[in-house]
Structure 1
Amino acid sequence: MTATIDQPVKVRRPRATLQLLRITLVVHAVLVIAQPIAAGYFLAGNVDAMTDIHATVGGSVWMVAFLQTIVAACYTIAGRGRLWPTIASAVLVVAEFVQLTFGYLQNFAVHIPLGTAIVTAVVWMTVWSFRRTARLSRREAKR
């Protein structure tokens, strides 16, 4: 008889990819939070805030979402993290491009609620990325 010793299965967790995702999410969150602040300056009478800050950041924030989608895909594939951050990031790319379009069209009935949803989603994802559950692999998260 031979005795077998069960060795613990080494689970590969997202580490470096999670750090990159966190950095990207923080940058994204700062940019989307700056948007309503800049709009507030415009409404308070600072006309230059719209073109100098709001339009400039708005024109580039969807590109940050695109970069976030790539980083989230690395988190999912290479880091074996969850799939939903990649899907949510891809949805944010589309939402932010639509947001940019409706902003330039000055359709505020869509622009303002969509902006609120984008800020909420990005902040929520950023908070999630710093929680313990973000470090779990797909296999551990299913348990």
Structure 2
Amino acid sequence: MSGTVTTRSRTLVVNRVLVSAHAVAIIGQPVFAGGYLGGDYDMLWLHKWGADAVSYLAYAQILAALVLWLVRGPRWLFWVSLLLAAGETAQYLAGMAGALDLHIPLGVALVTGVVLTTIGIWRVDR
């Protein structure tokens, strides 16, 4: 029994770290985009690099959330992570296509979703 609790606690810590890193990365995206729109054209490279980082973190978050679910942790994190990753994939493709009418509002929704997910995972009891 205590082995399961320890495994769950460690897995929860890994998920908290990943979700928090994901939040930091996605919050940086509007900063990079704003710099680019303000005339600093080097920020577009940072925005693309940040998009790659956000995507990789989203996929890692799905796997970590699945492991957390398997050790009897909360199931909601897996489903939310899957939904966020799908949205971020659409966001990435919209940005590459130049569809700013989709890219910007979807970005606002995704930042909100990741921040709320971060708050939620830190409220989960061990």
TM-score, with length taken from structure 1: 0.80
Alignment partners' CA distance in 1, 2:87 and 2:27: 16
Instruction: For residues 21-52 of structure 1, give each alpha carbon's deviation from its aligned partner in whole angstroms, at most 9, with x where no partner exists.
Output: 0000111001100000001111111011012x
For residue 18 of structure 2, the aligned residue among 21, 24, 37 is 24
1:60 deviation in Å?
Answer: 3.0
* Identity among equivalent pairs (%): 32
Provide the residue aligned with 2:93 in structure 1.
101
Match runs of 1:43-58 below 5 Å: 43-51=37-45, 53-58=46-51
1:59 deviation in Å?
Answer: 2.3
Segments of 5+ residues of structure 2 without an aligned counterpart are none
Provide the residue aligned with 1:120 in structure 2.
112
Provide the residue aligned with 2:54 in structure 1.
61
Which residue identity does 1:135 align to in structure 2? D
Larger radius of gyration: 1
| Alignment: residue pair count | 123
Q: Runs of at least 4 residues of structure 1 off by over 4 A?
A: none
Segments of 5+ residues of structure 1 without an aligned counterpart are 1-8, 137-143
TM-score, with length taken from structure 2: 0.91
Alignment partners' CA distance in 2, 1:63 and 1:37: 19
Provide the residue aligned with 2:33 in structure 1.
39
Secondary structure of the 1:82 match is coil
- Report whether the alignment pairs 1:135 with 2:120: no
More helix by share: 2
RMSD: 1.6
